[in-house]
Structure 1
Amino acid sequence: MNYDDRRASPRYPLRAFAELGSSDREWAAHVLDISYYGARIALLDEYNLCAGDPIRLRLEIPEMQVPEGMLPYLHLEGTLVHQQEHMLGIQYEPASELDAELLKQILANLNK
């Protein structure tokens, strides 16, 4: 069974800017696809992360997808699951109830 077969929820293509952080550093990132529990991102700068490292991801929500009255950022906390050169697979959970609602709305919009 490969990694794609183990996903608990579908992934949707999404092009968005993000900031990936560890305990001591932050990197500019590009989100390539997203699901409720994980995402695939690209880092163009050198990084010093390994599978299993805890991470934070702050995703900039494209303006047209921001629900009225919500901030244009989604905060996620999780773990680096796998990496291949500059491509990283991360597993996460929303950082708050508000982030969980925003993530659900974003995925619903991507599923249309």
Structure 2
Amino acid sequence: MAVPSPGARWLLVLALVLLLGGTGWYARAAWADSGWFALALFGLPLLCTAGALWAQRAGGATTAPLLIALLGVVALGWSLITGLGIGLLFLVPALLLLVAAMVSWVDRRGDSPGRLRT
């Protein structure tokens, strides 16, 4: 099993903190406006980020970056679907998930010819 990427983990934690902060800030207004849909509105990006954190910790060398990228694409799609409303709040965390997938892939490559050996 590959070692989890610390850089990707910090990006994922930052995305989760941004989402939790935005959820705390807008939850009351979203609940008053949308009712039960507010759970789906905030729940999908939160589940994507939590799933990416789990995949980063438990995934293998190729499956973790692939799953993180897939969850990042889902979160980015959700941000674009809800973009006329509160969806712009989800844009930065979704992009952080995609960057974390790239960082995780680079860190998990192992000893490839392009890496410097120390």
Relative contact order (alpha carbons < 8 A, sep ≥ 6): 1 or 2 greater? 2
TM score, norm. by length of structure 2: 0.26
Give me the TM-score of the superposition, normalised by structure 1: 0.27
Higher helix proportion, which one?
2
Larger Rg: 2
Higher strand share: 1
